Each structure stands twice: as structure tokens, then as C-alpha cells.
Amino acid sequence: MNHPNCPLCHPQNEEVLLQTEHLRVIAVDNEPNAPALCRVIWQDHIAEMTDLPIEQRNEIMDMVYRVEAAMRRVLKPTKINLASFGNFVPHLHWHVIARFQNDANFPAAIWAAAERNAEVVLPDNWKEQVKRQLTEAA
């Protein structure tokens, strides 16, 4: 399934950390308030988790957990935030966000107004490290 106007069906300039038959993991820099954000994107253009059969729900969530585990190991965040919205782009994708007490919004959601200037310092190569963890765990 391939939707002609969907930016997740026709990705550009994505930084792909892992790709499988049914999904891909990308690292994202375009959410200004997110200190460290990966997305797990289902390949087919479906909108809701309950549009998938149970085996495929488990498949995408298992990858969300792998990304969560890798980000916890690499980034030691205060908290992991998981979210699947799709209000702008109704193509199933999960946000996996590492949150820190000194990020711009903590403890509010990253989509709330920023409360401070973020002072989070991440390893320069965190995406590379997460990618390696995902590849090794494959």
C-alpha cells in the first residue's frame, strides 16, 4: 500500500538506523523540543494499531522496545516517552523520545510550550551508537 501524497510513503532525507521487511527506524532532528528522538515507521500506509493483525502489532512494538532499550543504554535518559499520533500524517509511526530533567519541557510533553532552554548534552555519536545496538540485537 502506497499513498501518493503521504510523506512517510515517499520519504526524503531520512537517517535510517535499521530497515526490515515491514518497518524502518529513523533518527530525527526536526522536533525542536525533543532532545533525542527516533521513529519506528510501518512500511504500509495504515493508520491505527488496530488496523494491523496482532502479529504485526507485536512486530512493530517489539521494535519500539528494542529502540527504547538501545536509547536507554546509550543515553541514560530520565524517562522514555512513547507516542503514536498520526494526526498530521495518518501513517502508523511511533515516536521514541529520550527525556531529561534539563530538556526544554520536562516534565511536560515535548509538544507543550518550552519552559526553558534545553541544557541536554548528548554524545555526538548517539545515533551511531543506537544504530549499532539495533544492528547487533538483530
Task: Provide the binding-site residues for a copy of itself, judged by CB under 8 A.
Answer: 47-50, 54, 57-58, 61, 64-65, 68-69, 72, 78-88, 90, 99, 106-109, 111-113
Contact call for residues 43 and 24 (beta carbons, < 8 A): yes
Minimum distance, C-beta of residue 38 to a copy of itself, in the bound complex (Å): 14
Rounded alpha-carbon distances, angstroms, from residue 24 to 60, 77, 79: 9, 23, 23
Q: Please report how close the Cβ of residue 100 comes to a copy of itself at its closest, in angstroms.
A: 10
Closest C-alpha among 73, 65, 67 to residue 123 = 73
Query: Residue 128 CB, nearest distance to a copy of itself (Å)?
Result: 21
Cell of 99: 527525556
Angle, in degrees to the nearest 10, between helices 54-75 and 126-137: 130
| Closer CB to a copy of itself, 15 or 48, in the complex | 48
The least distance separating a copy of itself from the CB of residue 92, rounded to whole angstroms, comes to: 10
The residue among 58 and 135 lying less far from a copy of itself, judged by its C-beta, is 58
